[in-house]
Structure 1
Amino acid sequence: MAGVSLKCGDCGILLKSVEEAQEHAELTKHSSFSESTDPVLNLVCSSCGKPCRSKTESDLHTKRTGHSEFVDKTLESTAPISLEAPKVKEDVIMEEAGDGNSSSQQEETVVPEVDQKLLEELETMGFPKARATRALHFCGNASLEAAVNWVVEHESDPDIDEMPLVPVNDKKSEAPKPSLTPEEIKMKTQELRERARNKKEEEEKQREREREKERIRVGKELLEAKRIEEENEKKRLIALRKAEKEEEKRAMEKIRKKLEEDKEERRRRFGLPPEDPTTDSKPSAPVVVEKKSSLPVRPATKAQQMRECLRSLKQNHKDDDAKVKTAFDTLLTFAKNVATNPNEEKFRKIRLSNAAFQDRVGKLKGGVEFLELCGFEKVEGGEFLFLPREKVDIAVLNTAGNELNTAISNPFFGVL
């Protein structure tokens, strides 16, 4: 691919033509140039059409005008570079003589002398050499800040990127402008650094204020989310209590019907006449006893005892659902192993001091009691739980399995 620019081997800047390379060499004394396939950047402002040849120029333009949209026309303006040396142009100035006769005189023009250190700093910042030279020339090589301010104020000039030329005579006749002393340069540099530090501190304070506002906003959102979560938890508990009450009510109604059926069955068995319905409307003794007494009634059947034991276990450890579920699963495994393999003694004997057993079942109130309802007995001074082979009751173990499955699958079991 043909070269589209010239690259300075000393500072790395990209140049559009051989003429720019010659001017750059005269100003910087750099002599190593090579063809490059990287094009010179050409960013055109979408608002005013101002071309910028570097990111620094576009940032300065944005800071001054507020224009932030740029169109990259680098590829449109890119063309193979010509390596032919340009011809030297001479300006012909016509001067009229006092006697009416005119004569032509060629006057030589040269690039004005500027502070090379300031020029190198401007080029390092990304300014083209022609623009940097023009800025230093017209600001009198005062300072780096003065040159940057001049560029900002005159960046819309049509000849901003043209190298300034002054006549040799004018250059010689003009007295050089006084340059800053080292003390003044040091003071100016210190002032610029102080301004930059103050600006940085102010920006950091502003960012800290914004971060504090963000922390306050996030804190309020977290408090609001926590409040909503607590309200939802209260509603969920109320719904669970209501569902548990409904379940208890249905269970009590079922028991009441069962008791009535058993009562009628006994009357038929003994040949007694059916109970007079008119007596049902009168307050019955059991109702009065139920209202006056708050003592819990011990369940009569094995299934009810097991259910009450599991409900007690869950209520005693209601703050740790994972531990309760582990206990239920472990008890179900014990009952299933014995029911499936009643002849295996290893399934019918449990060491109470076993760490895994204690962590899953032994430490939970109601766990050992449930195993005793299944037929296990404490032996050897209370060191083991043992279920003798002759006392293995498959029906009891099946009942235990059913109660455990119900406790595991029912989300409302033992909530109240």
Structure 2
Amino acid sequence: MAGVSLKCGDCGALLRSVEEAQQHAELTSHSNFSESTEAVLNLVCSSCGKPCRSKTLVFDDFEISFRCLSIQESDLHTKRTGHPEFVDKTSEAAKPINLESPNPTNAADGAPMDVDASGSGQSEEMVVPEVDKKLLEELEGMEFSTARATRALHCSGNTSLEAAVNWIVEHENDPDIDEMPMVPANSKNEPPKPSLTEEEKKMKLQELRERARKKKEEEERRMEREKEKERIRIGKELLEAKRIEEENERKRLIALRKAEKEEERRALEKVRKKLEEDKSTLPVKPVTKAEQMRECLRSLKKTHMNEDARVKKAFQTLFTYAGNVVKNPDEEKYRKIRLSNQAFQERVGGLKGGIEFLELCGFEKSADGEFLFMPRDKVDIVVLNTAGKELQSAIENPHFGVL
């Protein structure tokens, strides 16, 4: 099969003619070219008919030189226009490549010269294509440059203002859009079409601007929706992360409190066992008068633990009995208590331990059992003072008898 393209052995670019190969070599300094049976891709947009190639030479707007860039023109076209459908006409457009140089050297001065379509070796004059002057003026009136307006009219078939403006909107990012187009001098131009009226021109321009505005607003709304979705997604992720963190902290605190309670329970159990061991090995046996009095008062309070007011009154009454004897040791009336006295029974005699405490202070029951009496010779001020201290401690200490 005859070659239908030239392939660069250095970068793999497919080129449709010797002229393109020369331009490629000038731009890249590549020199290894060979015939290839692989045709240059020719995709045609189903919506607007624009041809697209897989690889092409483009201008670099930001540098003064050219660069050979591998660009998917179909993807770029879809991005600019939103046209996704293309028809593959590669096989229809493929033609055997002409390997003759398009720029033969002039024998006289060694300079290259152009050849015409017939291959006669004579240079072909290139001129600006003829376009509808009125349409050109109308486009210039819309503040388009002369080169851009001329190229738009020529490429859109020189048919109408709307077609030219549509072409400009679609190709506004083309690198050569503001370069004046050139065509062979002997090429034929289509006859100019009648131009629109001034009113029609304004309406068409307004329509195109409105269409572009709506398209831009729709794109902005779409982007805003995407941003909002992303914001909601991130917000949900943050809330879920916070919830998990709080749940883990709650579980940690519960486990910590549980461990503390368990430790406290073990400590109390240890103390309780220790106390029980002490009780079993060291029985409580008061050895002094003060200890006996203190134990008697504890027993009284524990026995009547639900009668705090009555117990407190009993302690105060006992304190009064002991104090009267200390102050008046010679007076018998302070050393003698009738057991059947109703006030005595209500305050001291009716409580278990009350009479026992008086006996520890030195009181004795009479032979007939009617009185508690302390003989004068048995009045012990030290014992009575000790009783007063123990009673005062029992009265003032709210935890007396509890521990």
TM-score (structure 1 length as normaliser): 0.34
Larger radius of gyration: 2
Give the TM-score normalised by structure 2. Answer: 0.34
